[in-house]
Structure 1
């Protein structure tokens, strides 16, 4: 069995060990400081003999260190170096989760069902349907008080029989090799993860948001250095907004609401003007048309605009057909619409012409549309459609 230095010396960063098994993609060592994936905590990264460790897992009872390239054949001893920044971050987040979960249970009896330590944030799922902002504030305050107390974080190996001596926050199904993580007079929990030596090393906890997950509530939070990273990112965003809006920080919210209201008004005005322009175009197309077949070639129009224009063109002319083509960079878009007295199916028409431009589309007998590559010219595509109708 590999000696688990990450339990014996949780702050160890370098170590020496013998190779007990060597495979092309992994090695097993006599002892290791590399924590393997487990209990919601990701594996450590680092170097073994200056070769990158890409993964660490427990498989068939072995702690396997997966390497970017194989060690030289017949390597007997290695030097290991873990990525300490990553490890300490995981220690802060994991200990913070213990503190936060204990605070939820102590204050309101909310139990933590699951825990996930992500790259940027951490989440716990609580066995409740809802949590108030006031409750979140109380929990966060208690959690940070425990951190400020700088209480020791102790670990202890116990037997199944000895478990009754401790008031565990969550029952464990383990029967042997039971490791307790203890924050005296606050939290007792069976856990196989790594943790700092004291709560003060967690530095702080900040709840970011909550989300309903069926009958559970997911709480997203960060601890330690992640709070500074998060704060710096938000500070840069705030500075950019202050500069862009030429508004002091305490008036950013008001300025943003004002801009959103102005945008809403402008969007309505633009929509009205666009509709007026389409109505004018439709009138002009009908006046200049020779017969019931009305066609037009346009540039850089959206499919929605083409559909609106086609509807306006066939309006009040029960025998008309409208075919519109728009050339948009390297693509063609086509819309075909018919009035009520026309028997020709527009869906069949579009299905006929789209293969000539490797296009796709759909619709119904009244109106259909599609788009494809600019293999033909706009004029040729319209002629294809007209020839199919005639």
Structure 2
């Protein structure tokens, strides 16, 4: 068994140990097993420690069938010899703050509102807990955060104690135990008693502060996101930088930024509406001019036009405008967009002898694409396997085919 120095003293940053084994796992990752370690293996919602062993970076630490494996970038080549281990202390202490903060916050929710924590995850930037409730209110969030920060300011001791399963009944445990052998309790006297294998600071004051960020529903639970300790200061710094930049861009002090942003969005919405109206007027004028170029065919008029860099939405709008203005026209618009070709076609209600849906089954395979629609309106696209003008010509030839006569059911 590897001696777990992180349980003897969570503040150990360096240590010496003997190498018991070196190996490669099923995924080809190198690992070493030591007779003692201060590296915490991933577990219980807390990520593993990282650091170095003899100057070689430790990338991961896992407990595999009770054996703690230290995954390394390179082979140690030091079997049965002493090595020096060094913990990434900044990462370890951050995890200690976050994990202790989670205990405090979960206990606050349970004490104040009877809301239990069902799971916990310590991420790289934030921490989340899943709460056994389907909703939260601002009042509940404020009271829980206030209570948690009061416990932190009281600088209560955080104690650890090993007990047997039989002794566990003497303590008001916050949740059911997941193990039945030796049990490690993490205790904040008169507030929280919890079976936990994670690392924690000596006192609640070292958590510094807790700040709730946001929550969302997850099925029948609520997932709450928050930060503790140094992460609170980091979040504050990041948000302050954003506020300073927004204040500069909006030319407004912080207390008036919301109003300035709202006014800017309203102005943008009005400008967008005016722009859309102007675009529609331009398209309508463009279609009116194009209709003058429509060619008379047997039983209908044909308008075919090729564009560069027009959206499919514009093609659709133009096709509909064309048949609104002239119900006897078949309008086909092709757009070349980088390596794509797109086509939209429409026929007016008076043009009853052409089935555009049938035309689609012939035209889109020519460009290795797909499309479809109704007998009076089709759209689709594919690869630019030919110039747009060639596709337009092919479409015109397909329309002249007798096989495109409208079925009676239409």
TM-score, scaled relative to structure 2: 0.91
- Counterpart of 2:238 (choices 233, 241, 251) is 233
**Residue in structure 2 matched with residue 161 of structure 1 by the alignment:** 166
Question: Residue 73 of structure 1: CA displacement?
Answer: 6.3
Cross-structure match for 2:373: 363
Structure 2 unmatched runs, 5+ = 25-29, 401-410
TM-superposed deviation, 1:102: 0.5
Can you list the C-alpha shifts for 1:180-205, whole angstroms capped at 9, x where unaligned? 00011111100011111111111100
Q: Which residue of 2 aligns with 1:296?
A: 305
| Alignment map for 1:123-202 (pairs within 5 Å) | 123-202=128-207
Task: Give 1:71 deviation, angstroms.
Answer: 2.1
Contact in 2 for aligned 1:56/1:66 (Cα 8 Å):
yes
1:253-264 aligned within 5 A = 253-264=258-269
Counterpart-to-counterpart distance in 2, 1:238 and 1:38: 37
Distance in 2 separating the partners of 1:347 and 1:326? 19
Q: Which residue of 2 aligns with 1:11?
A: 11
Going from structure 1 to structure 2, the CA distance change for 1:64 and 1:365 (only over 3 Å counts) comes to: farther
SS at match of 2:252: coil
Q: Residues of 2 paired with 1:75 and 1:348: CA distance?
A: 78
| Cα offset, 1:177, TM superposition | 1.4
Q: 1:360 offset after TM fit, Å?
A: 4.2
Return closer, same or farther for 1:310/1:127 CA change in 2, 3 Å cut-off.
Answer: same
Contact kept, 8 Å, 1:318 with 1:342, in 2: the verdict is: no
- What residue is the counterpart of 2:123 in the other structure? 118
Work out the CA distance in 1 between the residues paired with 2:126 and 2:373: 45
1:382 alignment counterpart: 392
Q: Is the 8 A contact 1:347 1:366 kept in 2?
A: yes
1:43 to 45, 48, 64: 48
> Hey, what does 2:406 align to over in structure 1?
none
Worse-superposed segment, 373-382 or 166-175: 373-382
> What's the RMSD between the two structures over aligned residues?
1.7
Q: CA deviation at 1:351?
A: 4.1
Structure 2 SS opposite 1:69: coil
| 1: CA distance, partners of 2:68 / 2:126 | 27
Q: Distance in 2 between matches of 1:382 and 1:221?
A: 58
For residues 112 and 263 of structure 1, the distance between their equivalents in structure 2, rounded to whole angstroms, comes to 44
Find the counterpart in structure 1 of residue 340 from structure 2. 331
Partner of 1:55: 60
Distance 2:22 2:293 in 1: 83
What is the number of equivalent residue pairs in this alignment?
A: 390
> Where does residue 403 of structure 2 map in the other structure?
none
2:285 corresponds in structure 1 to: 280
Deviation at 1:94? 0.5
Q: Is the 8 A contact 1:336 1:350 kept in 2?
A: no
Q: TM-score, normalised by structure 1?
A: 0.95
Is 2:21–2:79's contact at 8 Å kept on the other side of the alignment? no
Unaligned 5+ segments in structure 1 are: none
Cα distance change, pair 380–77 in 1 and its aligned pair in 2 (3 A): same
Whole-angstrom CA distance in 1 between matches of 2:272 and 2:132: 44
- 8 A contact 1:320–1:342 mirrored in 2: no
Q: Distance in 2 between matches of 1:156 and 1:363?
A: 71
